Amino acid sequence: MNRFKNIFFVFLVAVTGIISGCGKGNPSAGQNTTETQFSKVTVQMGAATALEADTQSKAVATIPPDVNSVKLDISRNAETLFTECRSVTPGQTITFEDIGLSSGANSLFEGQAFAASDCSGETLYAGTTSGVTLIPGENPPVPVNLGLVGSIAPTVITDAAANTGTSCVDLKGTINANGFEVVAWFEWGLDSNYGSQTAIRAVGNGTTDAVFTEMLCGLTPATGYNYRAVASNGGDLVFGDDQAFSSQAIGDSLVDVPIGFPGEIPPSVVTDVATNISTSSATLIANINPEGVNTQAYFEWGLDTSYGNTTPLQTLGNGFDDVTPSAMLTGLEPENTYHFRAVAFNAFGTTVGENQSFPTHGEPPVGEPEVACIEGNEPTMIKYGDHTVDCQIDTNSDGDTFNFVGTTGDVIRIVVEAFADGLDARLEIRDPDGILLHNNWCGGGCSIVVEPKSFNIEPSDTLMKTGSYSILISDQNNDEGGAYGLQLEKIPPSVTPQKILYNVPINDTIDHKADIDFFVFDGESGTDIRITVSAFADGLDARLEVYDPDGIQLHNNWCGGGCSIVVEPNSFNITPSPLLPKTGVYTLIVSDQNHDEGGNYEINIQCLFGACPE
Tell me the pLDDT band of 380, cut-offs 50, 70 and 90: confident
Report yes or no on whether pTM surpasses 0.85. Answer: no
Give the count of beta carbons closer than 10 Å to the beta carbon of residue 503.
10
Tell me the pLDDT band of 514, cut-offs 50, 70 and 90: low
Residues in the chain: 614
pLDDT at 385: 79
**Residue 247: pLDDT above 70?**
yes
Percent of the chain with pLDDT over 70: 72
The one-letter code for the residue type at 255 is V
Q: What is the DSSP code string of 264-305?
A: SSPPEEEEPPPBS--SS-EEEEEEEE-TTS-EEEEEEEESST
Q: What is the mean pLDDT of residues 52-58?
A: 34
Tell me the torsion sign for CA atoms 148, 152, 153, 156.
Answer: negative
Say if residues 136 and 35 touch (Cβ distance below 8 Å).
Answer: no
**Residue 157: pLDDT above 80?**
yes
Choose between 310 and 93: higher pLDDT: 310
pLDDT at 579: 85
The CA–CA distances, whole Å, from 26 to 29, 33, 79, 155 equal: 9, 10, 21, 51
The CA–CA distances, whole Å, from 439 to 20, 429, 475 equal: 90, 7, 12
Tell me the pLDDT band of 135, cut-offs 50, 70 and 90: very low
- Residues 98-130: pLDDT tens digits? 555 554 455 666 777 788 888 888 877 766 654
What distance in Å separates the CA atoms of residue 540 and residue 534, rounded to the nearest whole number?
Answer: 10
On the 0-12 / 13-18 / 19+ scale of CB atoms within 10 A, 606 is middle
Say if residues 128 and 109 touch (Cβ distance below 8 Å).
Answer: yes
Tell me the pLDDT band of 429, cut-offs 50, 70 and 90: very high
Tell me the pLDDT band of 512, cut-offs 50, 70 and 90: low
Give the count of beta carbons closer than 10 Å to the beta carbon of residue 354.
10
**Residue 8: pLDDT above 50?**
no
Q: Provide φ and ψ at 358, rounded to 5°.
A: -155, 150
Name the pairing type of β-strands 182-189 and 224-232.
antiparallel
On the 0-12 / 13-18 / 19+ scale of CB atoms within 10 A, 457 is exposed
SS3 (DSSP) at 452: helix
State the DSSP H helix or E strand holding residue 118, giving kind and residue range, or none if neither.
none
Tell me the pLDDT band of 234, cut-offs 50, 70 and 90: low
Rounded to a whole number of angstroms, the distance between the first and last alpha carbons of the chain is 62
542 DSSP assignment: E
The CA–CA distances, whole Å, from 237 to 45, 146, 148, 199, 314 equal: 11, 11, 11, 16, 31
3-state helix, strand, coil in the chain (%, to 5): 0, 50, 50
Q: What is the mean pLDDT of residues 46-73?
A: 51
Give the count of beta carbons closer than 10 Å to the beta carbon of residue 256.
8
pLDDT at 53: 29
Say if residues 233 and 208 touch (Cβ distance below 8 Å).
Answer: no
Say if residues 357 and 332 touch (Cβ distance below 8 Å).
Answer: no
Name the pairing type of β-strands 387-389 and 370-372.
parallel
Q: What is the DSSP code string of 35-73?
A: EEEPPPEEEEEES-------SSBEEEEEPPTT--EEEEE
**Residue 5: pLDDT above 50?**
no
The one-letter code for the residue type at 527 is T
The one-letter code for the residue type at 268 is S
pLDDT at 39: 28
**Of 121-125, 358-362, 388-392, 599-603, which has the strongest mean pLDDT?**
599-603
pLDDT at 614: 56
**Residue 263: pLDDT above 50?**
no
pLDDT at 204: 77
State the DSSP H helix or E strand holding residue 16, giving kind and residue range, or none if neither.
strand 16-19
pLDDT at 156: 94
Percent of the chain with pLDDT over 90: 13
Say if residues 338 and 303 touch (Cβ distance below 8 Å).
Answer: yes
- Residues 390-425: pLDDT tens digits? 688 876 667 888 999 988 888 888 888 877 777 888
What distance in Å separates the CA atoms of residue 169 and residue 248, rounded to the nearest whole number?
Answer: 10
pLDDT at 302: 92
Q: What is the mean pLDDT of residues 477-496?
A: 76
What distance in Å separates the CA atoms of residue 597 and residue 515, rounded to the nearest whole number?
Answer: 9
Q: Cis peptide leading into 492, omega within 30 of 0? A: yes
